Amino acid sequence: MPAQKPEQVNELLIAALTGGDVEAALALYEPEASFVSNGQTLTGKAAIRTALEGFVAIKPQFKMTTKPTTQTGDIALTGSHWSATGTGPDGSTLEMSGSSYEVVRRGDDGVWLFAIDIPDAG
């Protein structure tokens, strides 16, 4: 299901990552989107795929509280506070948390996609 509202992009991403569906997660990004993590900017779907595969590999379980959305026309700023638990390669439990910000844009088809995703914005 494509995002019909800006806030749905994050919700669909969490559902895809939790479900282990990299393709569904990647479909939520514009072709030249940027993904910023640990001070590194990944641009384009091929680069972003690598980051998403890393999330899926730990079989994450997320909790998310959304921040208020600010929208002007076809562009919106979204964000969330999130936490996740997963399993590391050695079987140990991994715990992560952060605050995210995203710029999402509505396409001509009415579907919202990530233009910029910063999952660990602070």
Please write the tens of the pLDDT for every residue from 24-43: 999 999 999 999 988 899 99
Is the pLDDT confidence value at 122 over 80?
no
* pLDDT at position 1: 74
User: Does an H or E element contain 30, and which?
Assistant: strand 29-37
Q: Give the helix ranges, DSSP H, for the chain.
A: 6-18, 22-26, 45-57
Confidence of residue 72 (pLDDT cuts 50, 70, 90): very high
| Number of other CB atoms surrounding residue 72 within 10 Å | 7
| Percent of the chain residues past pLDDT 90, beyond the cut | 89
Domain locations in the chain as residue ranges:
6-118
> CATH for 6-118?
3.10.450.50
Is the pLDDT confidence value at 89 over 80?
yes
Q: Is 50 left (phi over 0), alpha (psi -120 to 50) or beta?
A: alpha
User: How many whole angstroms separate alpha carbon 51 and alpha carbon 25?
Assistant: 11
Q: What is the mean pLDDT of the chain?
A: 94
